[in-house]
Amino acid sequence: MENSIICATCQRENPKHLTICQYCGELLVPAPPSNLSTEPVPQKALNVTAVSTIQPVFEVPELRNQGIALVIRGHDSPVLLQGSDIYLGRYDPKSPQPTFDLTPFSASTLGVSRRHARIHIQHDLYVIEDLNSTNGTWVNQQRLPAGKKQGLANGDLIQLGQLVLSVYFDAASAMRSVEERISFKSAASKFTPHYLATRLSPYLTALESIQSICDNMLQRPPSPIEISSITLDGPMVITVQISGASEALKLAKGSLKDWRKDNAGKINQFLTLKEGLGKRTSLLLAEDSEPISMAGGDEELARQVGRELRQSEIQVAFNFLREVVPQFTGDDRAEDVERLLKPLHILAFSPLQVTTGSNSLAH
């Protein structure tokens, strides 16, 4: 056991020299002693952080010397903390309250002390120091001696007890760093390069195109999709870990998923009609309902159903862009709607579907 390290995600044993789990692809971080020690806290901790201290990250494009963005592992939204002196810890009614209360992130069970660590500006550089915490502080897998200050760089990995987070100094990097696990089942007998190219790649490319449109509308630096890992988790169950697609995945998991459900019968009817007319398509939708059987091809009906689906796709695109940018109007953003329709159509008719909660694609 001394020569091994346990992955905090899948709980499997890895050789100690590895930095990435050989089973699930997660970053391996040194675990503090198993006998974590913290005092119990109320089930519902008070919200002691001032509202003015925490803001949505996307509202502040540049944070240097203004604050930091923290991305807590397992949570999909960065948190912006403004100020030059930031205390990280957990709620305790008898102690001074930390700047950022980590209690909602399972701080007590993960071994975070009441005042665990401090991040502040020193000579125009953000530094972190451990405040003699019970279970220790690590920076990039190196334990930080209590009281010793360590300079922080964009993207540094911080571990407080067993709670893992990353620190960023600009919003674009923080948003890109949020990783999503996308899993899907394949009906193919074999997972081949052809299947990867014709199923997975078009879906991810469409997500990236949608994210690019959102970044442009929000007037922020582009956040291209980055793939951290592709793993085979079971018989034809493939998981892809990506970052940089926050708004695009919100569309796929939200309004577009609802649209696919509401229009499943009509979509299958449209695809069946196209098959009957000899206009074959490689995008066959996998929904609960069966394709509607047609006695013969009817080109006019296919056109009519296609037009109805197209109009409802336009409405989904328009509503989504209004959600991304509330001041959006159809008159001044018609080009954005038109640009969004092509990648949106690929997601709409893909055999892959993002499911709510698990961030998974089901085929």
Domain limits of the chain? 1-31, 37-175, 178-361
- Can you give the pLDDT of all 363 residues of the chain as single tens digits? 567 777 766 777 877 766 556 776 565 655 544 455 544 433 333 332 322 333 433 333 445 556 788 888 777 677 888 778 899 999 888 888 888 899 988 888 889 999 999 998 887 788 999 999 999 999 988 899 988 899 988 888 899 998 988 888 765 566 566 666 666 665 555 678 888 888 889 999 999 999 899 888 877 777 778 787 777 766 666 777 777 787 888 898 889 989 988 998 888 888 888 777 665 444 434 334 444 444 444 778 888 888 899 999 999 998 898 888 877 665 667 788 889 999 999 999 887 766 544 444 444
| Rounded (5°) CA angle 321-323-326 | 95
37-175 carries CATH number 2.60.200.20? yes
Pairing of strands 100-101, 85-89: parallel
Look up the pTM and report it: 0.55
